[in-house]
A and B are shown apart, each in its own frame.
Chain A
Amino acid sequence: MSPDAGEVVRCEAVAMSFGNVRALAGIDFHVDAGECVGLVGHNGAGKSTLMHILAGTLPPTCGGIAVGGTAQPAYGVAAAHRLGIRCVFQELSLCPNLTVAENARVFHRTLRGFGWRRRAGALILKQLDTIFPDHKIQPGATVSDLSIGRRQMVEVARAFTVTDAPLRLVILDEPTSSLDAHTAGQLLSFVRRFVAGGGSCILISHLLNEILHHCDRVVVLRDGRIVAADQARAFTRDRLVAAMGAEAATARPTRVKVRQAGEIRVLARAEKNDGAKPVTARAGEIIGLAGLAGHGQTKFLLDVFAASEHPADGLKVTAPVALVAGDRQSDGVFPFWSIAENIGIRSLNRLKRGIFLSPEMEAEHAESWRRRIGIRAQDVHANILWLSGGNQQKVLFARALGSDAAIVLMDDPMRGVDVATKLEVYDMIHAEAAKGRTFIWYTTELEELGHCDHVYVFRNGRIVADLHHDELSEEKVIQSSFQEQRPA
């Protein structure tokens, strides 16, 4: 690997430690102009750390960074921006209280003086039009009013806007995790156009097909080291999974179950709007909610949740409910609490001695779930933020499964979770369903619907398809999701 003129960025022997934990163990990594590099690995493999180092937000413990063949001894956020290296972080970095245009301003120091709002709005709108032609986002809209998918679109588009500084490399960390299949496709095809025009991308994704189909080169990280690096053509899904150190994802056939005649736990009758289908969920069933992101699936889950406490019109819920949040940072974890407290919060009534909460019982409860669910933590008293994203999500599962809830609602809970964790969670869901629990599972990943006994497809807040497990196919789901796309 000799440095050539077309090299955008090169790291040499870059290592990073957080206290005693070594996140990166001295890796060499480079990106050339006009290529898209896929970066894959478990949660905790060091992908995010490497990305933060490249973006200049974390100074490496040791090692050197060169941009365009020139060593950068004082590399930081400002230098990265000046040299044309941008990053779309997994946790959104938009200001929710500002408008779309104002967020573009935050990114570009030159957007100032008279008329900056108009220029910022035009800049971001043009880029949104280029990447997501039918985005329907207005530059004057406040970000907090946008759905999470639209926010992600704004964030991605913003990273590709150009004013004074050049644009050479865009790092995309799980850019499609909150996008539906349609917009994700738009983004990935834009990435190919961008790369064809001489730009470079680093694509981090847990969706291996995205990596295999849209990257030129793939780098696999494991435990802070590069364990495989090759042309994307040379990889197959199985080889990638093997390199990451997980069991093959496709090895296990999807379980087929018969719809049981268990008691009805949730019954949502057809709403007033015509043609909407009723939803039934029985004991022991796994019910899938599908469709494009943001078409009413989350709202349905929240309605069910609310109906379990206060009776609602047309919605009958007959058992206690627990919710596994998908947006774990804002709806899931209590960031200042320990792992044990985060697990116990849904079960406080069972963890009391007399009228007081018993820390011993709470720790015991958490410890038993830590072992059952395989949360990678030394101590349940540690702060939850010490865990990687996938393990934080496991804590949220433990909170729901450890409670008395007979109905578990899941709001696209696998966002940004690594393959191995997903497989463990799937097994757990099947095991719990076999014991009679009901799962209502909203997912944006079509593969996951294969785990469901019954799938309802949402479109514009209504259910447009009602599919049994044996009549389920990706084509049918996609077809229904895009139903009425163009009104006649």
Chain B
Amino acid sequence: MSFASVVPSPGSLAQGRRLLRTALPAISLVLILAGIAWMNPRAISYLGFNLMLNLAIPIALATIAQMFVITINDLDLSIGFFVSFVGCVTAVWLADQPELGIAMLLGGILIYAAVGALVYVFDLPSIVVTLGMSFVWQGLAIMVLPKPGGHASEWLHRLMTFHTPFVPFPVIAALVIAGVVHVGLMRSSYGAILRGAGGNAAAISRAGWSLLKAKIVAFALAGFFGVLSGLSLIGLTTAGDPNIGAGYTLLSIAGVILGGGEFVGGRVSPVGAVVGALTLALASSSLLSFMRIPPDWQVGANGAILIIVLAARALISRREA
């Protein structure tokens, strides 16, 4: 971005606005951290971050999965129960029968790709299709693991509880996820086509690109990151539960929007999505515990925080426009 021109052209003003919009998710994360530091200074430490952010990694991965679907103007209401399904498969089979476990996870990604094709070919609303799929995944998860149990592979547990020097592992993981997806979606040449399919699908197809392929790729990537989310979740909890990812659907959507993404138009930001997911994870667990809000009220307080943060974003965006 350059502000080289002497006369403030509409372009450079718009760039300034975009800069502010890009910084919004980071600002909200800093605010939440400041709140935590104020209430419990000891939480701002290596150990504190490890504890507070551990569970943010699966949420960040699910948010990235959701972001790929939102990129192409669709919405995935099944990601939460897909993460549950992945978690159950991981806990039941991955440690003892790795071939079967891997095959089932790959099958899950293939079904995601097929959902993308279905949505495009029959021009179905993705909300309806993925809502249906969420019951399918929930059912499969219950069939695989009727009640909480199973165990994580040793390597998975070690990976997720790895103690990196100086910088806590969750922070590094978040940086790696954000960086890799940023390069893949925002910097790669096919990433531009994928985002373009969300911005103006007709233009992409007139230029000779396959929209079917774009949908399949986006949904398959969502499936892939959903699998990573489930794996990381089981690595942390070490046991499966068919309802383990139930809250992830809404968290992932909120994370994408909080991170500067928009529901339509292919406007998304991988870095923002990861920051949004971290913000939500911190706000929903650590901040509330430090505020000594009783567990019975935490879910409701969680929702209130979500509304406040998203409303703030909407207000600021509107003032810019």
A142 in contact with B196 given A95-B203, A97-B265, A105-B189 (CB within 8 Å): no
Say whether A106 contacts B11, CB under 8 Å. Answer: no
With beta carbons under 8 angstroms apart, the residue of A55, A78, A81, A106 that contacts B192 is A106
Say whether A96 contacts B18, CB under 8 Å. Answer: no
Q: Is A279 an interface residue (CB 8 A)?
A: no
A-B contact pairs, 28 of them (CB 8 A): A57-B206, A77-B207, A78-B208, A81-B207, A81-B208, A93-B200, A95-B195, A95-B204, A95-B266, A96-B265, A97-B199, A97-B266, A98-B192, A98-B195, A102-B192, A102-B196, A105-B192, A106-B192, A106-B207, A112-B189, A113-B189, A116-B189, A117-B187, A136-B9, A138-B2, A141-B14, A141-B15, A145-B10
A113 vs B265: C-alpha distance when bound (angstroms): 25
- Chain A residues positioned under 8 Å from B127 (CB to CB): none
Q: Is A163 an interface residue (CB 8 A)?
A: no
A140 vs B12: C-alpha distance when bound (angstroms): 11
With beta carbons under 8 angstroms apart, the residue of A97, A111, A141 that contacts B189 is A111
Say whether A145 contacts B203, CB under 8 Å. Answer: no
Helix, strand, loop or mixed for chain B's interface? helix
- Chain B residues positioned under 8 Å from A96 (CB to CB): 199-200, 265
A78 nearest CB neighbor, chain B only: B208
A143 nearest CB neighbor, chain B only: B199
- What's the nearest-Cβ distance from chain A to residue B307, in Å? 27
A97 in contact with B11 given A89-B206, A106-B193, A113-B189 (CB within 8 Å): no
Q: Is A94 an interface residue (CB 8 A)?
A: yes
A94 in contact with B203 given A136-B5, A138-B11, A142-B18 (CB within 8 Å): yes
- What's the nearest-Cβ distance from chain A to residue B237, in Å? 38
A79 nearest CB neighbor, chain B only: B208
A130 vs B199: C-alpha distance when bound (angstroms): 28
B202 nearest CB neighbor, chain A only: A93
A140 vs B204: C-alpha distance when bound (angstroms): 19
A55 vs B10: C-alpha distance when bound (angstroms): 34
Q: Is B267 an interface residue (CB 8 A)?
A: yes
Q: Is A319 an interface residue (CB 8 A)?
A: no
With beta carbons under 8 angstroms apart, the residue of B18, B190, B196 that contacts A95 is B196
Q: Is B315 an interface residue (CB 8 A)?
A: no
- Taking CB atoms and an 8 Å cut-off, the chain A residues in 355-383 that contact chain B are none
A99 nearest CB neighbor, chain B only: B192
Contact with B along A100-117 (1 / 0, CB 8 A): 001101110101110011
- What's the nearest-Cβ distance from chain B to residue A101, in Å? 9
Q: Is B209 an interface residue (CB 8 A)?
A: yes
Q: Is B226 an interface residue (CB 8 A)?
A: no
Q: Is A147 an interface residue (CB 8 A)?
A: yes
- Taking CB atoms and an 8 Å cut-off, the chain B residues in 176-215 that contact chain A are 187, 189-190, 192-193, 195-196, 198-200, 202-209
A145 vs B18: C-alpha distance when bound (angstroms): 10
- Chain B contact-residue range equals 20 to 34
Taking each of B187, B189, B196, B204, which has the highest tally of chain A beta carbons within 10 Å of its own beta carbon? B189
Q: Is B103 an interface residue (CB 8 A)?
A: no
Say whether A106 contacts B265, CB under 8 Å. Answer: no
A-B contact count (CB 8 A): 82
Q: Is B1 an interface residue (CB 8 A)?
A: yes
- Chain B residues positioned under 8 Å from A136 (CB to CB): 5, 9, 11
- What's the nearest-Cβ distance from chain B to residue A38, in Å? 23
- Chain A contact-residue range equals 20 to 34
B198 nearest CB neighbor, chain A only: A97
- Taking CB atoms and an 8 Å cut-off, the chain B residues in 260-293 that contact chain A are 265-267
B17 nearest CB neighbor, chain A only: A145
Contact with B along A111-142 (1 / 0, CB 8 A): 11100110000000000000000001110111
- Taking CB atoms and an 8 Å cut-off, the chain A residues in 135-187 that contact chain B are 136-138, 140-142, 145-147
- Chain B residues positioned under 8 Å from A102 (CB to CB): 192, 195-196
A10 vs B18: C-alpha distance when bound (angstroms): 47
- Chain A residues positioned under 8 Å from B203 (CB to CB): 93-95, 106
Supply 16 further A-B pairs (C-beta < 8 A) apart from A77-B206, A95-B203, A137-B11.
A55-B206, A78-B208, A93-B203, A95-B196, A95-B266, A97-B265, A97-B266, A98-B195, A98-B199, A105-B192, A113-B189, A117-B187, A136-B11, A141-B14, A145-B15, A145-B18
A89 vs B198: C-alpha distance when bound (angstroms): 19
A160 vs B151: C-alpha distance when bound (angstroms): 61
- Chain A residues positioned under 8 Å from B190 (CB to CB): 112
Say whether A95 contacts B199, CB under 8 Å. Answer: yes
A89 vs B207: C-alpha distance when bound (angstroms): 12
A81 vs B267: C-alpha distance when bound (angstroms): 28
B201 nearest CB neighbor, chain A only: A95
A105 vs B203: C-alpha distance when bound (angstroms): 12
A110 nearest CB neighbor, chain B only: B189
- Taking CB atoms and an 8 Å cut-off, the chain A residues in 392-451 that contact chain B are none
A109 vs B204: C-alpha distance when bound (angstroms): 12
Taking each of B187, B202, B207, B266, which has the highest tally of chain A beta carbons within 10 Å of its own beta carbon? B207
The 5 nearest A-B residue pairs measured at CB: A95-B199, A145-B14, A97-B199, A93-B203, A95-B196
A319 vs B10: C-alpha distance when bound (angstroms): 32
A158 nearest CB neighbor, chain B only: B207
- Chain B residues positioned under 8 Å from A146 (CB to CB): 10-11
Contact with A along B124-168 (1 / 0, CB 8 A): 000000000000000000000000000000000000000000000
A106 in contact with B18 given A96-B200, A145-B11 (CB within 8 Å): no
- Taking CB atoms and an 8 Å cut-off, the chain A residues in 289-312 that contact chain B are none
- Chain A residues positioned under 8 Å from B207 (CB to CB): 77, 81, 93, 106-107
A478 vs B28: C-alpha distance when bound (angstroms): 50
- Chain B residues positioned under 8 Å from A93 (CB to CB): 200, 202-203, 206-207
Contact with A along B6-24 (1 / 0, CB 8 A): 0001110011001000000
A95 vs B192: C-alpha distance when bound (angstroms): 10
